[in-house]
Each structure stands twice: as structure tokens, then as C-alpha cells.
Amino acid sequence: MKGLAHAIALGLLLALSSGAMGGGAPARTVTLDVKEADVHNVFRLLALVGRVNIVVADGIKGRVTLRLVDVTWEDAFAAVLVSQGLGTVTVGNVILVDTLAHIEQRNRLQADVQARQQEAAPLVTVLIPVDYANADDLAGVLAEFLSDRGSIAVDTRTNTLLVTDVAPRVERIQTVLRQHGSAHGP
């Protein structure tokens, strides 16, 4: 254990002596030379050098041996992540480190929750007058923005789209039309 503490201290000294924490330097670089260091301690060192907040998941275990000379802390961080089969999720100004499998699982759960929320959301209907385009032509193109519950009808007499869907999808369609100058409105 004493050798591990020495390796981390040596890495920190090397990082500090390389100017990694120098005032105002745009790219913080680090020189690290550690052998069989606990990955948690390496992430703590990189957080210190990079002046970032890093949280490592409880289940992360392992040792890392590395020799890096004058690399950005981001490259050192990425190298350790890849070597350990890990990934990150950023929440505000905190970098969460976890296994790729856990990150993927978390992303799938979030997508499922969003899908269920969308399924339960009430439908809204809006009339969107169309300028400088044929509403019939636009309806087919805009269908890709609809949820499974959404629909688009066309009033050819007034060249107006009748869009029914959950609010975020309707807002997205309105934004696309405004960006392309095909619809007027707020």
C-alpha cells in the first residue's frame, strides 16, 4: 500500500511540476507514471489536475499502470476510461464515471420513461397556416416528426395544416416550419 501511495504522490508531483495547474494555461497537461494504482485514486488525481468534479460509481474496481508524458488531462482521463472499459455521463458540472453497460442501461431506462410520459401526455391540436409552400407537400415531410399518436390533416382550401400530437411534437413541427419560413405565427 505504501508503494501505491508513493506512486500517486509521484504522479501528483509530476503533474504539478509540469505546470498542469499553472495559472491561466489553456490546456492543462499532466505527466503521470504509476504502477498498479487503484483506478479511483487515478481519477481523483485527474480531477485535481483538471479542476473538474468526478464521481466514480461504487462498482468500479481495478488497477491501472500508465506512463504518460506531457498529455492533456482530458487525454489521460480518456485513456484510463478506455483501458478500464468505462464511460462518462455529465450532469451539470459533474462527470459521472461508470461501466459502459450501466450507462447504456441507464440511457435505455430514461428513454423508456420518456416514451411512457409521451404516451400518457394529452394530445393537442393546432392549426398552422402555411405560406410559400403547399400544405399537402409539407404534410408528408412533417409526418416524420409525429409520435405514434400524432396526425396531420390538410385544409386545402386555406392551405392550412391541422396537427394533432403531444405538445413537444407539435412545438417541434411549428419550429421547423418557422425556421424554413413556411408558416407564420408567434
Would you list the domain boundaries of the chain?
A: 2-100, 121-179
Q: Is residue 121 within 8 Å of residue 81, measured between CB atoms?
A: no
CATH 3.55.50.30 corresponds to the domain 2-100? yes
CATH class for the domain made up of 121-179:
alpha beta
| Model pLDDT, residue 117 | 79
Q: Which residue has the cell 472499459?
A: 85
Q: Which residues of the chain have pLDDT under 70?
A: 1-27, 182-186
Please calculate the CA angle 43-47-53 and round it to the nearest 5 degrees.
110
Sheet of strand 94-99, all strands in order from the earlier edge strand to the far edge: 53-56, 94-99, 86-91
CA distance 96 to 63: 19
Q: Is the dihedral of CA 140, 178, 180, 169 positive or negative?
A: negative
| Model pLDDT, residue 3 | 45
Q: Which residues, 6 or more positions from 162, have their beta carbon under 8 angstroms from its beta carbon? A: 125, 126, 127, 128, 152, 153, 154, 155
CB atoms within 10 A of CB 4: 15
CB atoms within 10 A of CB 52: 16
CA distance 154 to 27: 55
| Model pLDDT, residue 118 | 73
Residue 80 grid cell: 484510463
Look up the pTM and report it: 0.55
25 — phi, psi (to 5°)?
-65, 130
| Model pLDDT, residue 112 | 87
